[in-house]
Chains A and B, each alone.
Chain A
């Protein structure tokens, strides 16, 4: 049974704690700006990108948007889980329940994810004239949700700041260089990276405005798998922690 009052209070408290930190706020706004503008500038100097339909500068901005959206939400998910272990134990004692606590953490991550998505979207469209704004939001939001779940999974499996940060940093970095499609690499390897399908949706949103249902379907499938994994891992491991 989920205590709605406790979940609402918990989410509100988590969000206030997050947004009250000036460094978090600065990171939310400044870092996407640097990533999107910086990657757009650097890739804009390249003559052409084989197999890529977008202009190099657009491709760079896409890389930057996917990178900052994914990593920021992922990191938020990671630290939400790691830093809340003690608080969760206490909340469980006062009747929070394991699923109530998970629901609270996931809701916080999703709200921050939506916020991160909107900031990245607004910065992203400053330099491009996209064919479909809906597809861009859809793509960034799906990446954000995926990485939020990744953050939860990593935070539960590797429940220490240093180790969890290392995994998240490498996942995001490998994903942006190998999964986003900027290099014409072997297709099956690209498909294993979380941003692969959302990056295709983003590319279509920028260039053609067409909607390929396969890309959306695989993105949703990826999200369902991650959500199920996060739920199962949290449930199994929290039996020991929360009783």
Chain B
């Protein structure tokens, strides 16, 4: 009985927060429009040249590669900024909910549920826009990887939001995602075997799987997939722990 009411409260908190965000037309349009605009424009303006993809050992159209790799980047940017502000803006609300009888794990579920919901929304919309000019060979797996990317960075946003204020936090998120997912893991920019420090960044394994699902029917590097899930697991554990510590304090 008690468990049911706990679940109900968690669901209620999630629904109220979600409705509150979705009732803000500016926020909804930005969440959907900004990644879509980036992906759409990129699809239109890329030069008709080919680039060698180290991981696949073959040449691919630069526009296709850019869209395939920047769809998860844009989805991650939105989810991560959302994760950051989930922590920064919900501090007072969380305190009030705790006083009114919510437990810390109910709050955790509600807040992380919000990040997941935004991740699903942005990933779906970004993918739909990308498919106007590029279709990945393994669509379901590609979508799952875009979602995985956004959740990993959404949770990193939570970690950054707990440690920094908004200005340093937004800057760090943009720099981290742009440098890691956009530059270091991009087959367009990095044309040599990645150094060890690049291989331990969060986007390394997921980006390899993204490239495979974009241009191959099946996932051949099961190791990259397993390590992508491990990255998600580690980042989630860390974000949950840091958020839980903050709620407890």
Contacts and interface: CB of A to CB of B under 8 A. Distances in A.
Interface of A: 21, 23-24, 26-27, 31, 34-35, 38-39, 42-43, 45-47, 50, 67-68, 71-72, 75-76, 79, 158, 160-163, 165-170, 172-174, 176-178, 183-186, 189-190
A27 B168 contact: yes
B83 to A, nearest CB: 11
B47 A185 contact: yes
B31 A75 contact: no
Nearest to A68: B175
B167 A31 contact: no
Interface stretch (B134-142, B189-197, B214-222): B189-197
A192 B47 CA distance: 17
28 contacts: A23-B164, A27-B168, A27-B171, A31-B172, A31-B175, A38-B179, A42-B186, A42-B189, A42-B190, A46-B191, A79-B166, A160-B27, A161-B88, A163-B24, A165-B85, A165-B170, A169-B77, A169-B173, A169-B174, A170-B34, A170-B35, A173-B178, A178-B42, A183-B45, A184-B47, A185-B47, A186-B45, A189-B44
Given A35-B179, A38-B179, A161-B166, 17 more contacts: A43-B189, A45-B192, A79-B166, A162-B27, A162-B82, A163-B27, A165-B166, A166-B81, A170-B35, A170-B77, A173-B38, A173-B174, A174-B41, A183-B46, A183-B47, A185-B47, A189-B45
Interface of B: 24, 26-27, 30-31, 34-35, 37-38, 41-42, 44-47, 49, 62, 70, 73-74, 77-78, 81-82, 85, 88-89, 164-168, 170-175, 178-179, 182-184, 186, 189-192
A47 B44 CA distance: 24
